Amino acid sequence: MTTLANLNGKVMPLSEVMVPALDRGFLFGDAIYEVLRVYQGKAFLLDEHWRRLERSLEAVRITGVDLKRLRQRLLETIAAAGFPEAMAYLQITRGAAAARSHAFPEAATPLELISVQEYVDTYSPYRRQGAAVITLPDLRWERCDVKSTNLLANVLATQSAKEAGALEVLLYLADGHLTEGSHSSFFAVLDGQLRTTPNGHAILPGVTRQFVVGLAERIGISLYEHMLKREGLTRVTELFLTGTTSEVLPVVMADGKPIGEGKPGPVTRRLQAAYVVEVEKFVASGVGGGAAPRGQQKKTPRRALPPPHPPAPQ
């Protein structure tokens, strides 16, 4: 299925988008982005993603973006793409200058790219059975709270995980404190307490992380925002990742050692189930932009709840 794009207001297949070689996003990674999940044609947690987008723009001082127009374009592109299940990507670069130069150009118009691709949920078996992670040093810069496209350290870490047969990497600082995953947030149960890294410059303020914090509160699971040390992983009884597309994803193995009993635990299962219910409620509600064209909305629930006793991971 063709991924649909909108480049500065022009709609075209993503494969036809051309970006100038002098664009600062291409040259310097001088750009910010967002990834949203579309369920049954509607963008989930749109306001939350939008707030983070505005915050990122401000942090890197990209100005001159008409945010109201951009949001409208996003919703129109989601509707025009017509995929009930989709992933929307939005990137804003500082634009192109006449020549390569590190300092901001005097006059550059930000480049605004939106793309909407059909979402194929490859995470689903991991959500049922749990995934493996490895740990690696966090080699990123000191403003990981900015959702910048400068992702080389994340890319290298993810590739190492792939080569190790793991799904994700938990990154740790020089003092051993774990920050987050290379492309997801994480939560752990230690001494019976659910905890996650506090927001700050060391991690991306994950939209899903914050949603899960709220969910935990609503269903009566107390949560502590404390950093976990890498060596603490051996005492952790449950571990899970959160992210826009991964949602709530159990981790059953870290650095080759089982987490808890080596299967998704009860806190993780409760939060997974609560997350599914919230998505179902969102789909059934009148809120959320970019409704799918008539006839494309599915009547069946998008996914069954995770089974209470999933098969043990391989």
Q: Which residues bind ligand PDD (CB under 6 A)?
A: 35, 154, 180-181, 183-185, 204, 206-209, 242-244
Alpha helices in 195-265 (DSSP H): 207-218
Q: Which residue out of 68, 147, 263, 299 is catalytically annotated?
A: 147
User: Could you give the 3-state DSSP secondary structure of residue 280?
Assistant: helix
Closest separation between CB of residue 99 and ligand PDD, Å? 30
Tell me which DSSP letter residue 114 carries.
Answer: E
Parallel, antiparallel or unpaired: strands 185-190 and 193-196: antiparallel
CB atoms within 10 A of CB 279: 18
Closest to ligand PDD by CB, 108 vs 290, is 290
Does residue 229 carry a catalytic annotation? no
Spatial distance between the Cα atoms of 116 and 104, rounded to a whole number of angstroms: 29
Closest separation between CB of residue 112 and ligand PDD, Å? 18
Closest to ligand PDD by CB, 243 vs 263, is 243
User: Could you give the 3-state DSSP secondary structure of residue 56?
Assistant: helix
Closest separation between CB of residue 308 and ligand PDD, Å? 26
Closest to ligand PDD by CB, 207 vs 283, is 207
Closest to ligand PDD by CB, 79 vs 151, is 151
Closest separation between CB of residue 287 and ligand PDD, Å? 19
Enumerate the β-bridge partners of residue 188: 195, 239
Tell me which DSSP letter residue 293 carries.
Answer: P
Spatial distance between the Cα atoms of 232 and 257, rounded to a whole number of angstroms: 12
Active-site positions read: 147
